[in-house]
Structures are given as C-alpha cells and as structure tokens.
Structure 1
Amino acid sequence: MDEFDVLVLGGGLSGASAALRAAQLGGRVCLVEKARIGSQGFQRRNALCIEELASSASTPSWVEYLSVLKAETESYSTAWQEKLDAEGVTVVEGVGELASASEVNVLKPDGGYLLIQGKSVILAQGSKPRFPATLPYEAGVVIGIDEVAKLPTLPEKVMLIGGGAIGIEAALGLQKRGCKVFLCCEQNELLPEMDEEFN
C-alpha cells in the first residue's frame, strides 16, 4: 500500500492548489483525479473564452472557437501538471472513494484497484451542474457549461440558469455571438457571492 502525508481526492482548481501547497510545505502528496487536472477551471475557461473571442475585432467562427478552446484547456491542464510534477506530487488517474478515514480505494482506467493511505485526506471532488427539478433534463437540450463546447452549432436562443460569474460570462459571450440569451437566477440579484458593489 502506498502511503503519503497528504492525499487529495479531486484534481480541480481547489484540489490541485491544495496538493501543490502541501508539497511546497514539505509533504509527500498524492493527487487522485479521474480526468484532467484543473477541471473546475475549464468551466470558467469555457465561459471566459466564449466572451473573449466574441469581443475580438474579428470574431472567429464557431469551429475556430472550438479549436482555440481545445488548445486553451490542454495548455491549462499541462501547466498544472508541470507545477505538480516540479513539486514532486504523485498524480494517480482514476476514481477514488474513501475506504476509511485514512485510506482511499482508486478504480483505475484499466479496471484495477489501488489502495492508497494518507495521514491527512482532502476531499476536493468539485461540483457539477444542478438541474432544477422543475426543468426535466433532456440530453442535448438541457446542458452544463462544459457541454457548450461540444455543440456543432450555436442555437438561436439560449436560456442560462445561474447568475454567478460563469453564467454571466457565458451569457455575454453567447449574446455577442448572435444568440438571444435569457438569464434566469434563483435570487433577485446577479453575482450573489460577490460584494454588493459588483452586483
């Protein structure tokens, strides 16, 4: 069984940052991630890239946008991987779940299992879109922000749910690309997590 000082479950922005800092402080660190390092940042990157490219002097086609986004996300993930490698963080690809307070069982891509032990375990498994119960999920019609980059073409009309930073950035970018955008918020203000002067 592999043993570490710190074991981080989840390689999104929070998990990768925690792993990096723990290693910088001298810990022997293992990070378990099923997909790309920095995945939470991709949601933000998707929204930002839509807005940035839509604001450029020569607006690229949707196909060109997808090419830029792919390069951006690969670059973002590679940069994080290099930072972690430089600090000696062990990255394990797979889906981890707690086996005990100090042990994690990792299902690897090949179907095998790996048991890892950590003196401290950090749970940073990120988030995923929450689809309201009043809005039945229909694949390809109701999608999360990450799935926008998988659309072959943009729809004429889009309804975005969520008035946070990611929702607003995506709304602005999609509107600039010619979509008619409807932004729906659960609260009566935008950017509820920000200071009042921002909303």
Structure 2
Amino acid sequence: METEYDVTIIGGGPGGYVAAIYASQLGARVALVEKDRLGGTCLNRGCIPTKSLLRSAGVLQQARRASEFGLEIDHIEVNLPQIIARKNNIVDGLLAGINHLTLAGNISIYKGAGRIVSPTLVKVNDEEIPTKRIIIATGSETASLPIPGLDLSGVVTTDEMLDVTKLPKSLIVIGGNVVGVEFATIFNAFGTKVTILEMRPFLLESV
C-alpha cells in the first residue's frame, strides 16, 4: 500500500526544504520533490557560491595592499581551480547539513520533476505520491534574453561562470544590477578586464 503523506512539497529550495522540516517537526508525514540538488538557487548557484568567490577576491585585494600594513609579500597568484574547489566545498558542506536535517525529520525525498495530477496526487517520473496537501515552492530559473548571438561559443550564464577554472583575459557582463556587478567585481579583482553593459543610466539602479 502506498504511503499517503500529510503534505507533499514540490521544490527543494529555501522555501521548500524549510517548509518540509517545519512540517515534520509538527508531526506531519512529508514528501519533498526536487529535480536537482536540495538548497535551490541560493545555495547552489547564487548567494552562497558568489559570496565564497567574493571572499577570495577580497583576500586577494588585501594581500595586494599588504605593504601598507608593513607586510611584504613577494608573489601573489590567482589559483582559480583552488578558488572554485573552496567554493564547492562550502556548498557541499551546507548541502550535507540540509540532507542531515531532512533525514533526521524522516522526510521522503523524491528525485525528479513533480507533476500535480489532482489535488491529492503528485507524480514524479512514474511514481505516484498520494497526499493530503501540496505546497508549490518551485522557485525560479535563469531566463534567456532575446539577444542575437547567445548561442555562440564564449557566451555563458552566471551558472557556468561559477565553475570556470581558466581565468578569462576579458569579460563583458550584460546587466549592471546586483548579480552582474557582483560577477564583475569578482573577476576584476582576479585580473580580468571587465566591461559592464547596462541600458539604464546607472549601475544598481533598482537597488
């Protein structure tokens, strides 16, 4: 006999996994559906990895000013593969924490894209999940801009930039809001020549 859950949550990002943990703490039988990694954009492709890269960039900038503090550093070199590895270790460590919490809460994890068949039934791949309630916490995904040439070699998204292991000599960032300026700051500190393209009069105008 299939298990009927009190609540099934579609999406394992901050909204989804936190709701799952709270529901389990209140005694509910919980199913959590996620097609990728738990943690969502913030943990895997957003806030956490970019802050790790920013930290490396900040340490590099401080090292370059070491002489102002009476310290002499003969050689400073950007080891991008090691910087990316550090970022991945931080993300993986936090992900392990989320996995531990879901395991401790006896939350059932279903890997795949969830489809709502009825108000009391969710389907993941070929598996049916009977449920009393459904929470939709699917979050967002990267939007593709209507710009000719986006399919050309060398044009990448922020997701791909988080895993580059070879430092580009130059970089054009389309968009001067928070994410664009953040990536521009990181790679400029690493030694890349960065140009930001922004249609509005000022950078970070919507902040």
Once superposed, what is the RMSD of the aligned Cα atoms?
Answer: 2.3
Partner of 2:50: 47
SS of residue paired to 1:181: strand
Q: Structure 2: 5+ residue runs without aligned partners? A: 64-75
CA 1:69–1:135: 2 relative to 1, 3 Å? farther
SS of residue paired to 1:150: coil
Partner of 2:104: 86
Name the TM-score, length of structure 1 as normaliser.
Answer: 0.82
Give the deviation of 1:117 after TM superposition.
2.0
> Is the Cα contact below 8 Å between 1:23 and 1:87 reproduced in 2?
yes
> Is the Cα contact below 8 Å between 2:50 and 2:162 reproduced in 1?
no
Alignment of 1:150 onto 2:150: no
Stretch of structure 1 that moved more, 2-11 or 174-183 = 174-183
CA 1:151–1:139: 2 relative to 1, 3 Å? farther
SS of residue paired to 1:49: helix
> Is the Cα contact below 8 Å between 1:46 and 1:145 reproduced in 2?
no
Alignment of 1:190 onto 2:204: yes
Partner of 2:68: none
Partner of 2:23: 22
Stretch of structure 1 that moved more, 97-106 or 160-169 = 160-169
Deviations 1:104-150 (A, max 9, x none): 1112xxxxx21002222112222221121124432653322221133
CA 1:59–1:119: 2 relative to 1, 3 Å? farther
Partner of 1:176: 189
Stretch of structure 1 that moved more, 180-189 or 96-105 = 180-189
Q: Structure 1: 5+ residue runs without aligned partners? A: 108-112, 193-198
Name the TM-score, length of structure 2 as normaliser.
Answer: 0.79
Give the deviation of 1:59 after TM superposition.
6.3
Give the deviation of 1:39 after TM superposition.
2.9
Give the deviation of 1:186 after TM superposition.
6.0
Alignment of 1:2 onto 2:3: yes
Alignment of 1:121 onto 2:134: yes
CA 1:48–1:186: 2 relative to 1, 3 Å? farther
Partner of 1:195: none
Partner of 1:110: none
- CA distance in structure 1 between the partners assigned to 2:133 and 2:4 by the alignment: 10
Letter in 2 for 1:54: A
CA 1:139–1:88: 2 relative to 1, 3 Å? farther
Stretch of structure 1 that moved more, 1-10 or 182-191 = 182-191
Letter in 2 for 1:183: I
- CA distance in structure 1 between the partners assigned to 2:121 and 2:155 by the alignment: 37
Higher gyration radius (CA): 2
Give the percent of matched residue pairs that are identical in Structure 1 and Structure 2: 27
Give the deviation of 1:176 after TM superposition.
0.9
Of the three residues 80, 90, 105, the one matched with 1:72 is 90
- CA distance in structure 2 between the partners assigned to 1:32 and 1:26 by the alignment: 19
